């Protein structure tokens, strides 16, 4: 199968391409720069020049392949609403290239969008509302594509990690270095789910090869890790105080990240594992955080709260 992968030079997309190639698929990867193109070529990935904003490039890349895996997203959270709208347009462009075929379109979403405060499952669906998180546009666009007859599959991602990156936890590390304290909100018992990069990548391929149309799959290896556990490791590795702050203090301390820091977002992958035969076997996020490369030469700022 020839697969068009957006975000092919990114953290998750790179691992997805490697897994697809190892399984015998051909990969056409989206690259916006010459550096990205050279990186793809060196790994045996065919290059398709373009970007998320270049909708024609998305259409032509999708049209040239047997399937599409969409992992690209602009993670500049200072422009979150704008980036989510760009994501919606990108999915529409990919959709337009696949209409009238049975070629699968695998789209990345997030486990935290659907059921804050309880264990999210693959059966949960998001109900749009005026206070919805902007990234829900991803799932709305995916549903719209499915309603047009496309074979659409959604992969919901937790905090995806290895020893280099940790999803939103990476931003907590940077903030702790800046502020000189490692903070959590309240009692710090709220949880975030996690999945190792080397477990997440094969799930995209299994969804492509075996997934049901309109299915939602969760790339979750750990259902929930407490916020305080993250903060304590960060504090210890940076040799800075670990502190609890109130929900009222959170916006000032965490900035845009405060939209997430108080949320309890556990998620299950039981149905995903049963249906696709997927088994997460790599380590958890806390051991990776303990051995994170970012701490090897890290210097924290003087504490100020």
Do 138 and 100 lie in one domain? The reply is yes
Q: What is the CATH number of the domain that holds 260?
A: 3.90.25
pLDDT at position 300 is: 59
pLDDT at position 131 is: 54
Categorise residue 99: left if φ over 0, alpha if ψ from -120 to 50, beta otherwise.
Answer: beta
pLDDT at position 303 is: 61
pTM for this one?
0.93
Q: How many CB atoms lie within 10 A of CB 224?
A: 20
* Spatial distance between the Cα atoms of 272 and 295, rounded to a whole number of angstroms: 34
* Spatial distance between the Cα atoms of 291 and 25, rounded to a whole number of angstroms: 33
Q: Which domain holds residue 87?
A: 2-160+194-222
Please indicate, yes or no, if residue 301 is contained in any of the structural domains: no
Do 122 and 251 lie in one domain? The reply is no
Do 61 and 143 lie in one domain? The reply is yes
What is the three-class DSSP state of 300? coil
Do 96 and 171 lie in one domain? The reply is no
State both tokens at 186. 């309240």
Q: Over the stretch 69-80, which tens digit does the pLDDT of each residue have?
A: 999 988 777 777
What is the three-class DSSP state of 88? helix
pLDDT at position 84 is: 84
Do 256 and 134 lie in one domain? The reply is no
Using an 8 Å Cβ cutoff, are 206 and 276 in contact? yes
Please indicate, yes or no, if residue 206 is contained in any of the structural domains: yes
pLDDT at position 79 is: 76
Q: What is the CATH number of the domain that holds 131?
A: 3.40.50.720
Please indicate, yes or no, if residue 260 is contained in any of the structural domains: yes
pLDDT at position 47 is: 98
State both tokens at 100. 């009238």
Among 30, 28, 74, smallest CA distance to 56 is for: 30
Among 234, 203, 232, smallest CA distance to 219 is for: 203
Do 213 and 179 lie in one domain? The reply is no
Please indicate, yes or no, if residue 207 is contained in any of the structural domains: yes
Q: Over the stretch 23-35, which tens digit does the pLDDT of each residue have?
A: 999 999 999 999 9
Do 150 and 198 lie in one domain? The reply is yes
Do 49 and 154 lie in one domain? The reply is yes
Please indicate, yes or no, if residue 304 is contained in any of the structural domains: no
Do 150 and 267 lie in one domain? The reply is no
* Residue numbers in the chain where pLDDT is lower than 70: 127-134, 298-305
* Spatial distance between the Cα atoms of 235 and 248, rounded to a whole number of angstroms: 22
Please indicate, yes or no, if residue 300 is contained in any of the structural domains: no
pLDDT at position 94 is: 96
Q: Over the stretch 131-175, which tens digit does the pLDDT of each residue have?
A: 556 678 888 888 888 899 999 999 999 999 999 999 999 999 999
Do 84 and 178 lie in one domain? The reply is no
Do 7 and 135 lie in one domain? The reply is yes
Pairing of strands 222-226, 191-196: antiparallel
CA distances in angstroms from 74 to 41, 92, 218, 291, listed in the order given: 23, 17, 21, 27
The number of distinct structural domains making up the chain is 2
pLDDT at position 82 is: 85
Do 75 and 214 lie in one domain? The reply is yes
pLDDT at position 154 is: 95
Please indicate, yes or no, if residue 302 is contained in any of the structural domains: no
């Amino acid at each position: 199968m020839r697969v068009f992968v957006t975000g092919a030079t990114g953290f998750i997309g790179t691992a997805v391409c490697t897994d697809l190639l190892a399984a015998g698929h051909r990969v056409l990867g989206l690259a916006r720069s010459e550096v990205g193109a050279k990186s793809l070529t060196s790994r045996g990935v065919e290059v398709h020049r373009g970007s998320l904003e270049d909708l024609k490039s998305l259409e032509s890349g999708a049209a040239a392949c047997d399937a599409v895996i969409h992992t690209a997203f602009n993670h500049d959270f200072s422009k979150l609403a704008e980036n989510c709208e760009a994501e919606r347009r990108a999915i529409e462009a990919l959709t337009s290239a696949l209409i009238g075929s049975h070629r699968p379109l695998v789209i990345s979403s997030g486990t935290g969008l659907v059921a804050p405060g309880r264990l999210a499952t693959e059966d949960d669906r998001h109900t749009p509302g005026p206070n919805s998180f902007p990234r829900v546009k991803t799932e709305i666009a995916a549903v719209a594509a499915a309603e047009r007859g496309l074979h659409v599959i959604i992969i919901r991602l937790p905090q995806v990690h290895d020893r280099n990156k940790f999803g939103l936890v990476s931003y907590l590390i940077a903030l702790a270095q800046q502020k000189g304290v490692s903070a959590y909100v309240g009692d710090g018992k709220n949880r975030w789910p996690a999945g190792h990069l080397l477990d997440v990548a094969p799930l995209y391929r299994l969804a492509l090869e075996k997934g049901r149309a309109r299915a939602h799959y969760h790339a979750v290896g750990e259902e929930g890790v407490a916020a305080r556990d993250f903060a304590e490791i960060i504090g210890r590795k940076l040799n800075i105080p670990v502190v609890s702050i109130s929900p009222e203090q959170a916006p000032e301390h965490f900035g845009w990240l405060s939209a997430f820091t108080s949320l309890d977002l556990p998620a299950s992958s039981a149905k995903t594992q049963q249906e696709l035969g997927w088994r997460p076997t790599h380590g958890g996020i806390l051991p990776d955080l303990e051995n994170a490369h970012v701490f090897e030469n890290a210097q924290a700022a003087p504490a100020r709260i």
